Amino acid sequence: MIYSKSTIKNISESIGVPKLKDGITTAMAQDVEYRLHEIIAEAMKFMRHSKRTKLTVADINSALRVRNVEPIYGFETGRPIKFHKTATALEEIYYVDDEQIDLDRLIEEPLPNVPLEVVYTAHWLAIEGVQPRIQQNPAPIGEEEPAAKKTAKAPQKQDGVETIPLVKHVLSKELQLYFECITESLVSPDPLVKSTALESISIDAGIHQLVTYFVQYIAMAVKNNLNNLETLRTAMAVAKALRRNPNLFVEPYMHQLIPSLLTCLVSKRLCESYTEDHWSLRDGAAEQIAEICQQFGQSYHTLQARIARTLLRAFLDPTKPLTTHYGAIVGLTKLGLSIVKVLVLPNIKTYMSLLDAEMEKRDNHQLINDGTHCQAALVNALRVVARGNNDVEPLGAAGAQKSKLAEVVGDTLARLVLAESNAGKIAAAVLAASKEVKAQDSQE
């Protein structure tokens, strides 16, 4: 018998039950031994499931919880418990040597620091399926770097400026192969191959890790091919496909995408010859910028205002070429009626006086062509004003129309407006909008 009768008698006496009979102590010792065997057998199950060969206090406590018994407190320790043996007149006793604490020394020790208040902080666990390499996130499995490499990649200070090394973005081989195939297809002379690649970008759901690479591809294509109209068209098509993909979250990349769109809108030259149709590329870039402002305007309240301010500066700068002026006019027009009324309409007459002076140089065919497109863009802006003022009554008497309209938009543009089929409506809407803007300015 493991648990002796004398042990039972000693425990009973320690709790105030003296002189137990031998039959009772024998029965209790047998029952205690049975219960111990049960608990140890249950604890060994936990040990085996934990892939260990050494039984721990945690295994015993888990077995006790399974049996609805309160666990043993005070023995959870990282170091093994050492039992010391002592001999008495009757038997050998094993005990745990408790450390003696000097209370005088403990009282004289300085008090510990006040613990910090409990606070909650948030961090990104994953962005677009990629776990950021920050202190709060665990290191990816299998990517533990040696200590030498970690020391080499530590922040370095040069001239008092601390530089932090960039984190390498790891792509799977499948995504790398996909990106290479798509970029090769985008430069293919076969329009069917190119359209298939663009369709794949616009519908595939598993390419969220490639968004930043496509945005970089667009930026580099625009930067290095400002005279290659076909490459710029492809870059704008990729930007449109990315934004149209419902499975991608492109909002964090708008600050990188908008500069490329603005470049294709107001750049001085986008092709080798002025006879090429770079105007449609500018129109497409303006449409995309307007869609971005409409889609993300609620999240970024200053986005449209900043873009409009950039385009207005390009529109009013007389040193800029007419191609830049055209892009600025189209971009402002696409932003909507309120932008046209507040920013374009009050400046049309001044701009037209400068444009008329430029177009008097009859010997420059490119200048005349660019100026004609700028005039058409301004007429289109006035059409936007007319569509936004459906309740105005069309003006009659062509002579009266022209004189009133010329006061707002200049003689040349007034003549072009009167050549339109709905000239009376456009003139009435422009005059009403001009009066409204002047009234607002006087109130301010």
What mean pLDDT comes out for the span 248-263? 89
In 3D, which of 149, 150, 241, 158 has the Cα closest to residue 195? 241
Residue 333 CA to residue 60 CA, distance in Å, equals 77
Q: For residue 127, what is the DSSP state? A: B
Q: Is 56 left (phi over 0), alpha (psi -120 to 50) or beta?
A: beta
Residue 289 CA to residue 266 CA, distance in Å, equals 12
**Cβ atoms within 10 Å of 162's Cβ, excluding its own:** 8
pLDDT: which is higher, 276 or 74: 276
Residue 50 CA to residue 46 CA, distance in Å, equals 6
pLDDT value, residue 80: 67
Instruction: Please say if the pLDDT value at position 109 is more than 50.
Output: yes
Overall residue count recorded for the chain in this entry: 444
- Condensed to tens digits (0 to 9), the pLDDT of residues 12-71 reads 888 888 888 888 888 888 888 888 899 999 999 999 999 988 888 889 999 999 988 888
Residue 32 CA to residue 40 CA, distance in Å, equals 12
Helices (H), 335-364: 337-339, 348-359
What mean pLDDT comes out for the span 250-261? 89
CB 348 within 8 A of CB 410: yes
In 3D, which of 84, 86, 125, 93 has the Cα closest to residue 6? 93
pLDDT value, residue 152: 46
Write down the mean pLDDT value for the chain. Answer: 84
Residue 371 CA to residue 325 CA, distance in Å, equals 9
Q: Which residues contact 299 (CB under 8 A, 6 or more apart)?
A: 251
Instruction: Please say if the pLDDT value at position 150 is more than 70.
Output: no
Residue 360 CA to residue 323 CA, distance in Å, equals 17
Residue 60 CA to residue 66 CA, distance in Å, equals 10
Residue 377 CA to residue 423 CA, distance in Å, equals 16
Q: Are strands 92-96 and 161-163 parallel, antiparallel or unpaired?
A: unpaired
* Residue 139 identity: A
User: Percent of the chain scored above 70 by pLDDT?
Assistant: 87
DSSP 72-91: PPS---SS---EEEEE-SS-
What mean pLDDT comes out for the span 338-367? 85
Looking at mean pLDDT, say which of 26-35, 128-137, 143-152 comes out highest. Answer: 26-35
Q: What kind and span of H or E run contains 96?
A: strand 92-96
- Condensed to tens digits (0 to 9), the pLDDT of residues 179-224 reads 999 999 999 889 899 999 999 999 988 888 899 899 999 999 999 9
- Rounded to two decimals, the pTM is 0.62
- Condensed to tens digits (0 to 9), the pLDDT of residues 261-286 reads 999 999 988 888 888 888 999 999 99
Instruction: Please say if the pLDDT value at position 309 is more than 60.
Output: yes
CB 25 within 8 A of CB 9: yes
The position carrying tokens 């076969």 is 190
What interhelical angle do 348-359 and 365-387 show, nearest 10? 160
pLDDT value, residue 147: 47
Residue 401 CA to residue 281 CA, distance in Å, equals 35
Query: Quick check: helix, strand or coil at residue 188?
Result: coil
In the beta sheet, which residues pair with residue 318?
A: none
